[in-house]
């Protein structure tokens, strides 16, 4: 399609947008004497429908014809001018569907078209480096959201127009530094909008606007152009500014930034808060308390956070949240490492945000870092880099058993696909040994080296059957569209795209191996980097068998962007056609409009988003966090009962509410924080023995009924019948309060 034809199509779409925006003008009160009917009964002009349909017929045709002279001039000018005009006209369609007001649909688009028309012969020197405008627009958009009451789409239109105006003005100034590099410092303004600052400070708006809009002029005026200056700015963007911008945007648009406190998941958070709490009592992980996911994830991390500050749930979760924000940085780094392009990296981050793929738990960070090193090593054909992959694998093993397995498979695959495979394997082994020996010495000195291996491979590794679900649970999107070709529509549904993309990755991987990689040199190295991402995604599919998790989601946007970029640059004309199609499909799946609406609402709300999230101010260790109201009621009820026990006494939890041990500052009498952890007969007898020999266990918290606190609907008394029998024999009902049933130990 030629540029002229494409611009004409955009002009027709602009006419359609105008007709949609005029609908409120037709919806006038019914005139006097109008014949009775549905519209009259609702006090509406019955001619509105006819006028609206007439405008739908006329305006697309009229605008397409009226724009012909302008399109002819745009085609003769620079490519950026025609692309800018096309984007303005298509953007008007987007705004018309959100805010059908002709002023916001017509005027911004006309202003952009007029600017592109007047400057069509101006060499604005647009390049791939102008991706820096995306985080710049993001910070201006957030600042305007904080300063104006306009809708998010209107504010976004203003932000884009303002940034583009600054970009053209900078290009007009008589200096040689590339205009895109003049915006190198602008994305740093996102830092001022994060929870690192007080609410009034991060919502001020003006400081971010000043940095984003004035630093480009300052860079243009005061930075002399030279190859060294350009190199330094590109390095600063790739290794500092883009990672900081990714972290800043993810933090500025987070729920934590809105509510000011972290939300507590009563079940999930007990698995790391309780082992850390037991360590504060002098107990040791694995020997005295089991960190279910890994030593770092569920013990050392929270222990360090609580040891260095107040022992509260808010402290533990806030530190954890600050570190998990590094997922945004790793999404960027993974793409940049696999493609060699920092610009593609920041684009991938902004795609991952609406994909819900820019976050995750602490335990996935080392594995993603390992994958990043592997992708870079394969692309750069550098076997020495496998040393750091080996080091990171050891850290991944200490953090999470499952993610360490995924990282190991990716590492072995990458080493075997490396041109100098034995050298790569040797460096990976050296790295693993270099990191593993000091760790082993430290664990042995601490007295838990044997316990770590014994519990990890003798107990934790056997828990799989306790958590396995059905092989496949079709999401809503695939249930509605079950058969081909209608099933293709299900790929664009938020509930099913992760399944579809994993399947496409598997099929593409199989096709790539079956056909073979025919390219050589750098193109082959890029393909190998993409394949290791595919291997990681595929092997992470095992997480679906456990709890129908999608632990591969973080790696999906980097691979999708890398494949799209490769298609755009393919030597085959047939393959290049799929580049734009895949790019459009990814944007459709991401559904960025929903993210824009949600992010805007988060910036404009202060405090809990729903009334069910409350603070527990009267329980010291619960401060600084938000609990569901039902969980808050449980904590207070448990606090009242535990207050009747002695100061050194505790209780045994048989309801998977182990977080109460941490919140009420009571000792957990067994090693396992969850009932499913001791389903075997041997471990049940261990639990019974621990209760039996501990005289401080004065009570037991038991389920109110078979369905209460049961994992996957399986009653706890069926999971651990010997323990239940022991409780029935040695404890008796004492108090029922709300959802809690306490039994007192018999004398």
Q: List the domain boundaries for the chain.
A: 1-121, 262-322+613-745, 325-601
User: Which of 584, 568, 660 lies closest to 621, judged by CA?
Assistant: 660
> 658: which 2 tokens?
């182990």
Predicted local confidence at residue 456, as pLDDT: 87
Write the CB contacts of 245 (distance below 8 Å, at least 6 apart in sequence). Answer: 135, 138, 139, 187, 188, 190, 346
Cis peptide before 50 (omega within 30 of 0): no
Task: Give, as one character, the DSSP assignment of residue 285.
Answer: B
SS3 30: coil
CB 257 within 8 A of CB 202: yes
Write the CB contacts of 451 (distance below 8 Å, at least 6 apart in sequence). Answer: 284, 285, 286, 287
SS3 247: helix
Predicted local confidence at residue 710, as pLDDT: 66
Give dist(CA 515, CA 312) in Å, integer: 56
> 43: which 2 tokens?
């006090």
Predicted local confidence at residue 158, as pLDDT: 93
> Residue 734's CB: how many other CB atoms inside 10 A?
15
In this structure, what are the phi and psi dihedrals at residue 702, rounded to the nearest 5 degrees?
Answer: -115, 160
Assign 3-state DSSP to the chain and report helix, strand, coil percentages, each to 5.
70, 5, 25
Write the CB contacts of 675 (distance below 8 Å, at least 6 apart in sequence). Answer: 654, 656, 711, 716, 719, 720, 723
CB 603 within 8 A of CB 253: yes
> Residue 62's CB: how many other CB atoms inside 10 A?
16
Task: Give, as one character, the DSSP assignment of residue 263.
Answer: E
**Tokens 């606090």, located at residue:** 639
Task: Give, as one character, the DSSP assignment of residue 305.
Answer: H
- The DSSP secondary structure of 144-194, one letter per residue, reads HHHH--S-HHHHHHHHHHHHHHHHHHHHHSS--S-GGGGGTTGGGGGGGGS
Give dist(CA 391, CA 366) in Å, integer: 10
> 61: which 2 tokens?
């045709």
Bridge partners, residue 732, by sequence? 744
In this structure, what are the phi and psi dihedrals at residue 193, rounded to the nearest 5 degrees?
Answer: -105, 15
Predicted local confidence at residue 692, as pLDDT: 93
> 519: which 2 tokens?
């390219």
Give dist(CA 563, CA 569) in Å, integer: 10
Write the CB contacts of 60 (distance below 8 Å, at least 6 apart in sequence). Answer: 12, 13, 15, 16, 19
* Ranges under pLDDT 70 in the chain: 1, 464-479, 481-487, 490-491, 547-548, 706-710
CB 660 within 8 A of CB 653: yes
Predicted local confidence at residue 35, as pLDDT: 76
User: Which of 178, 163, 185 lies closest to 123, judged by CA?
Assistant: 178
Predicted local confidence at residue 739, as pLDDT: 80
> 594: which 2 tokens?
């929903």
Tell me the whole-structure pTM to 2 decimals.
Answer: 0.91
Give dist(CA 71, CA 671) in Å, integer: 73
Write the CB contacts of 691 (distance below 8 Å, at least 6 apart in sequence). Answer: 652, 669, 670, 697, 726
User: Which of 334, 322, 389 lies closest to 362, judged by CA?
Assistant: 322
Residues recorded for the chain? 747
Are β-strands 697-702 and 740-745 bridged in parallel, bridged antiparallel, or unpaired?
antiparallel
Task: Give, as one character, the DSSP assignment of residue 289.
Answer: B
**Helix extents (H) in 400-448:** 401-417, 421-446
Q: What is the dihedral of CA 64, 70, 71, 73, to 10 degrees?
A: 160
> 441: which 2 tokens?
């010495």
Q: What is the dihedral of CA 553, 557, 560, 561, to 10 degrees?
A: -170
Give dist(CA 664, CA 270) in Å, integer: 13
Give dist(CA 242, CA 346) in Å, integer: 7
Integer angstrom CA distances of residue 572 from 456, 576, 577, 582, 592: 50, 6, 9, 16, 31
Evaluated on CA atoms 490, 494, 500, 501, the torsion sign reads positive
> 602: which 2 tokens?
């988060």
Bridge partners, residue 731, by sequence? 745
Predicted local confidence at residue 585, as pLDDT: 86
Q: Which helix (H) or strand (E) holds 744?
A: strand 740-745
Gyration radius of the chain's alpha carbons: 30
Give dist(CA 331, CA 357) in Å, integer: 8
Q: Where are the beta strands (DSSP E) in 480-630?
A: 613-614, 625-628
Write the CB contacts of 673 (distance below 8 Å, at least 6 apart in sequence). Answer: 270, 271, 274, 275, 289, 290, 292, 658, 661
Predicted local confidence at residue 304, as pLDDT: 92
């Amino acid at each position: 399609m030629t540029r002229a034809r494409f611009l004409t199509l955009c002009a027709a779409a602009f006419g359609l947008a105008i007709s949609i925006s005029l609908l409120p003008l037709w919806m006038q009160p019914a005139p006097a004497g109008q014949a009775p009917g549905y519209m009259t009964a609702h006090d509406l002009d019955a001619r509105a429908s006819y006028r609206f349909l007439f405008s739908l017929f006329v305006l697309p045709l009229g605008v397409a014809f009226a724009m012909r002279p302008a399109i002819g001039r745009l085609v003769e000018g620079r490519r950026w001018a025609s692309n800018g005009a096309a984007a303005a006209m298509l953007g008007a369609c987007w705004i018309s569907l959100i805010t059908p007001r002709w002023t916001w649909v017509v005027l911004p688009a006309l202003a952009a078209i007029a600017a592109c028309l007047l400057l069509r012969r101006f060499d604005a020197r647009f390049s791939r480096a102008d991706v820096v405008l995306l985080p710049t627009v993001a910070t201006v958009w957030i600042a305007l959201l904080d300063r104006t009451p306009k809708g998010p789409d209107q504010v976004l239109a203003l932000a884009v127009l303002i940034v583009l105006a600054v970009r053209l003005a900078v290009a007009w100034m008589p200096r040689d530094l590339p205009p895109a590099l003049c915006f190198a410092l602008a994305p740093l303004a996102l830092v001022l909008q994060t929870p690192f600052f007080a609410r009034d400070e991060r919502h001020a708006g003006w400081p971010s606007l000043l940095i984003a809009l004035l630093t480009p002029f300052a860079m243009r005026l005061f930075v002399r152009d030279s190859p060294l200056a350009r190199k330094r700015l590109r390095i600063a963007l790739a290794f500092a500014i883009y990672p900081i911008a990714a972290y800043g945007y993810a933090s500025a648009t987070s729920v934590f930034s809105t509510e000011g406190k972290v939300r507590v998941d009563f079940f999930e958070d007990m698995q790391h808060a309780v082992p850390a709490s037991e360590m504060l009592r002098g107990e040791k992980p694995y020997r005295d308390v089991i960190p279910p996911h890994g030593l770092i994830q569920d013990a050392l991390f929270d222990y360090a956070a609580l040891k260095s500050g107040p022992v509260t749930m808010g402290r533990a979760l806030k530190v954890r949240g600050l570190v998990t924000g590094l997922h945004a940085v790793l999404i960027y780094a993974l793409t940049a490492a696999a493609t060699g392009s920092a610009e593609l990296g920041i684009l991938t981050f902004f795609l991952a945000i609406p994909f819900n793929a820019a976050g995750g738990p602490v335990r996935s960070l080392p594995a993603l870092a390992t994958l990043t090193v592997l992708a870079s090593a394969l692309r750069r054909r550098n076997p020495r880099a496998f040393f750091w992959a080996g080091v990171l694998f050891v850290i991944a093993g200490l953090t999470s058993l499952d993610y360490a397995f995924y990282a190991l498979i990716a590492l072995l695959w990458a080493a075997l696909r490396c041109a100098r495979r034995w050298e790569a394997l040797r460096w990976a082994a050296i790295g693993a040994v270099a990191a593993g020996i000091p760790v082993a010495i430290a664990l042995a000195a601490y007295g838990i080296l044997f316990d770590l291996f014994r519990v990890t491979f003798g107990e934790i590794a056997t828990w799989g059957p306790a958590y396995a679900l059905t092989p496949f649970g079709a999401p809503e999107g695939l249930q509605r569209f079950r058969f081909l070709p209608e099933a293709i529509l299900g790929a664009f549904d938020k509930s099913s795209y992760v399944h579809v993309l994993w399947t496409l990755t598997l099929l593409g991987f199989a096709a790539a191996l079956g056909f073979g990689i025919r390219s050589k040199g750098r193109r082959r190295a890029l393909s190998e980097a993409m394949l290791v991402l595919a291997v990681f995604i595929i092997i992470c599919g095992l997480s679906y068998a456990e709890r129908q998790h999608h632990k591969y989601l973080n790696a999906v946007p980097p691979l999708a962007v890398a494949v799209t970029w490769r298609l755009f640059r393919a030597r085959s004309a047939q393959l290049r056609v799929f580049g734009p199609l895949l790019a459009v499909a990814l944007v459709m799946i991401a559904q960025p409009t929903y993210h824009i609406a949600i992010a805007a609402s988060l910036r404009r709300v202060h405090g809990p988003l729903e009334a069910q999230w409350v603070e527990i101010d009267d329980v010291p260790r619960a401060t600084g966090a938000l609990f569901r109201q039902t969980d808050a009621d449980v904590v207070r009820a448990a606090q009242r009962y535990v207050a009747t026990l002695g100061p050194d006494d505790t209780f045994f939890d048989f309801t998977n509410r182990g977080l109460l041990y941490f919140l009420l500052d009571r000792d957990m009498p067994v090693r396992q924080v969850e009932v499913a952890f001791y389903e075997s007969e041997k471990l049940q007898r261990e639990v019974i023995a621990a209760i039996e020999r501990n005289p401080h266990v004065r009570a037991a918290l038991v389920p109110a009924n078979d369905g209460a606190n049961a994992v996957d609907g399986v009653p706890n008394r069926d999971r651990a019948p010997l323990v239940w029998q022991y409780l029935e024999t040695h404890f008796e009902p004492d108090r029922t309060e709300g959802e809690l049933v306490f039994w007192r130990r018999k004398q």
